[in-house]
Amino acid sequence: MAEDSPVLLRGPFLSSSLLFLVLFLVSSVDNNKASYRRFLRRHIDPRRVLINPSYYCQHIMRARGLTSPTCMGKNIFIHARYRRIKIICGEGGRPFNNSASSDSIYSYTITTCHSTGGSPPNHCKYRGRSERRRIRVACFKGVPVDLIRILHSASP
């Protein structure tokens, strides 16, 4: 009977276990890529805002698809190249509270867009405000995947 026990680790059981493991790993990578792409689309715009922040918000929110199916209530854009944001999850940040999030050491120019009404997708109205602030991001495998909050102190 002792020889019968390893049979469970062969055949269909092993094949389905390996298939499940591969699907889980692929799904994990896909979720990380999706989170990364969503973070880029929702929060990163390397261009400096040289125009009125409210005008900027009206256009960028629509251009990024953040006015459909509903007008997004609030969104924050960080005006820096992604590689400058990525360092927050490494040497350019400080881990927050033993979690997977990190506070930036440096301040970034940000624009906060607040909805003031309107109707989706092309008539959402936004008020914008630009300022320099530090930020907290969620990190996964050394890259930012979500903007958690704006830190109100200008420096640590």
**pLDDT tens digit string along 22-67?**
434 333 444 567 888 899 999 999 988 778 999 999 999 999 999 9
3-state secondary structure of 38: helix
Per-residue confidence (pLDDT) for residue 155, from 0 to 100: 56
Alpha-carbon distances, residue 68 vs 7, 46, 65 (angstroms): 54, 23, 6
In this structure, how many other beta carbons lie within 10 angstroms of the beta carbon of residue 108? 18
pLDDT over 70 at 21, yes or no: no
Per-residue confidence (pLDDT) for residue 24, from 0 to 100: 40
Look up the pTM and report it.
0.76
pLDDT over 60 at 15, yes or no: no
| Span 11-23, average pLDDT | 42
Per-residue confidence (pLDDT) for residue 156, from 0 to 100: 52
Per-residue confidence (pLDDT) for residue 154, from 0 to 100: 56
Alpha-carbon distances, residue 140 vs 39, 103, 126 (angstroms): 12, 14, 31
Distance CA 114, CA 156 (A): 27
| Span 113-127, average pLDDT | 93
Mean of all residue pLDDT scores within the chain: 82
Per-residue confidence (pLDDT) for residue 125, from 0 to 100: 96
**pLDDT tens digit string along 126-145?**
999 999 999 999 999 999 99
The domains of the chain, with CATH numbers, are: 2-151 (3.10.130.10)
Query: For residue 73, which amino acid is it?
Result: G
